[in-house]
């Protein structure tokens, strides 16, 4: 199994082309996505190794730390390789208590972009994603015209090269595309969260990248704890058959779902990073894919859906993350 990002293929991300397996940096912080990582040297090693293994798409945000991950990226990789695309997310702010609040006014967005530029050491952000509130339960009736137009103004000024949107619905995607061309859409999507099936296909026809967000930057790659025993058994059976881990199979399924899907798993060690990138070399046959597609019909995600805190909601992080644990408790 090839342990590089190159086995995942390539896709257009705005005016650039990147490997479909990238890296999401949210895990490179302390508990509750606040403060520095427990092992700074390990975090720097992960970032350096990711680029060595062909990762040319890094996902980050000034929200992480705040500014911790951006500073780590700069320390590990600046001056940046020419082919590296750094994607950031704006539209929220962190509270002193570690909460997430929306920050969608023109002034707030400008401040976020300028802070990201300073901490990353860039003259212009490669891609700036407008992060709307409501991950998992997006606020469908809310217009994103005003904040996206503010970002488009920053693009005209040369502070941002490409625009994207995150945590939004199909209706909001259509609204956004009426305002400005999109490099990508970032949304919650995996084997058991498939609300965006039709949207993924629509964007693929138009050559717009879809970045699958589903907890990969927050905890581990795939929310195995959200699966029922029957769903987990199906995933484990396929994994054993193809000689891969369940996480690798979950990534391989995403890569096989549509050619415009990008995946940005997070890792806090080089070993974990290499395992996840090896998913690009996992081959799923038609029978494997058909079996995995059955998972969504076997009960779906648990009650309550995905954590509202990830989308800037009022709830705060789940207890297992709030307490600084590595992952959710066993079900």
Among the listed residues 3, 28, 33, the one whose alpha carbon sits nearest the alpha carbon of residue 316 = 33
Among the listed residues 113, 115, 120, 108, the one whose alpha carbon sits nearest the alpha carbon of residue 71 = 120
Whole-number Cα distances in Å, 214 to 199, 208, 219, 311 = 16, 19, 10, 11
φ, ψ for residue 259, nearest 5 deg = -70, -10
In the block, residue with structure tokens 């970045």: 211
R_g over Cα of the chain: 18
Q: Which of 64, 189, 210, 218 is catalytic?
A: 64
Q: What distance in Å separates the CA atoms of residue 164 and residue 182, rounded to the nearest whole number? A: 5
Annotated active-site residue 64? The verdict is yes
Extract the runs of DSSP E, i.e. beta strands, from the chain: 10-13, 16-19, 23-24, 57-60, 85-90, 92-94, 100-102, 125-131, 160-166, 184-188, 209-213, 261-263
Active site residues: 64
């Amino acid at each position: 199994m090839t342990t590089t990002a190159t086995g995942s293929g390539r896709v257009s991300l705005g005016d650039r082309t990147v490997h479909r397996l990238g890296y999401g940096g949210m895990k490179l912080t302390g508990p509750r996505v606040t403060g520095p990582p427990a092992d700074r040297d390990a975090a720097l090693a992960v970032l350096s190794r990711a680029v060595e293994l062909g990762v040319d798409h890094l996902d980050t945000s000034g929200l992480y730390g705040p500014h911790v991950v951006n500073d780590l990226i700069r320390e590990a990789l600046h001056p940046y390789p020419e082919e590296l695309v750094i994607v950031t997310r704006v539209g929220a702010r962190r509270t002193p208590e570690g909460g997430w609040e929306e920050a969608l006014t023109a002034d707030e967005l400008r401040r976020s972009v300028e802070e990201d530029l300073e901490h990353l050491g860039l003259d212009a952000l490669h891609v700036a994603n407008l992060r709307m509130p409501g991950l998992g339960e997006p606020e469908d009736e809310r217009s994103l015209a005003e904040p996206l137009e503010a970002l488009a103004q920053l693009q005209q000024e040369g502070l941002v090269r490409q625009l994207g949107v995150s945590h939004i619905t199909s209706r909001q995607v259509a609204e956004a595309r009426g305002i400005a061309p999109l490099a990508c859409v970032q949304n919650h999507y995996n084997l058991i969260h498939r609300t965006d099936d039709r949207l993924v296909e629509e964007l693929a026809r138009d050559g717009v990248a879809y970045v699958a967000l589903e907890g990969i930057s927050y905890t581990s790659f795939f929310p195995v704890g959200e699966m029922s025993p029957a769903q987990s058994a199906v995933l484990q059976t396929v994994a054993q058959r193809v000689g891969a881990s369940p996480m690798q199979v979950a990534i391989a399924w995403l890569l096989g779902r549509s050619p415009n899907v990008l995946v940005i798993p997070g890792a806090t060690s080089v070993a974990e990073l290499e395992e996840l990138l090896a998913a690009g070399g996992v081959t799923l046959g038609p029978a494997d894919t058909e079996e995995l597609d059955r998972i969504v019909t076997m009960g779906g995600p648990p009650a309550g859906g995905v954590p509202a805190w990830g989308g800037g909601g009022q709830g705060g992080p789940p207890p297992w993350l709030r307490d600084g644990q590595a992952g959710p408790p066993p079900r």
